[in-house]
Amino acid sequence: MNEILTQEKSIYLQIEEMIENDILRDILREEEQAPSTNELARRYAINPATAAKGVNRLVDAGILYKKRGLGMFVQTGAREQILAKRRAAFQQEYLKSFLHEAKDLGISKEELIEMIRKEG
């Protein structure tokens, strides 16, 4: 988790996304301890309440869970849950607008597939 915070979106959302990214990259594995809110606050020079808001969103989503007196841990199945969420967001945010633009430009499905093959 050596990423830099930006002004593009709320800090707590960036904290949430960084932890998710670490889970997706297997930097944080299931049942391993996640960084504490105080650790995140020190690392990024942010208010601990802001770090806690990002972490608590992951707890609410079932990605992390609390072990009383020990801290936050990665929930079993968290990686798959994040993948499913991000795939759905990809479809909603990117794919729909991509296909709409292709349709407006008169690009056929076959042409799209060929473009993807060339790029991929």
pLDDT tens-place string over residues 77-104: 999 999 999 999 999 989 998 899 999 9
Instruction: Give the number of domains in the chain.
Output: 2
Can you give the pTM of this predicted structure? 0.80
Same domain for 83 and 72? no
In the numeric block, which tokens belong to residue 90? Answer: 């990809």
- Say yes or no: 39 and 87 in one domain: no
Q: Are residues 16 and 61 in the same domain?
A: yes
Q: Is 106 in contact with 66 (CB distance < 8 Å)?
A: no
Here the CATH number for the domain that contains residue 66 is 1.10.10.10
Cβ proximity of 34 and 20 under 8 Å: no
- Are 97 and 67 contained in the same domain? no
Q: Is residue 109 classed exposed, middle or buried when 0-12, 13-18 and 19+ CB atoms within 10 A define those classes?
A: exposed
Domain residue limits at 34? 11-77
30 residue type, one letter: E
Q: What is the pLDDT of residue 64?
A: 98
Query: Which burial class, exposed, middle or buried, applies to 118 when counting CB atoms under 10 A from its CB (0-12, 13-18, 19+)?
Result: exposed
Q: Do residues 26 and 45 share a domain?
A: yes
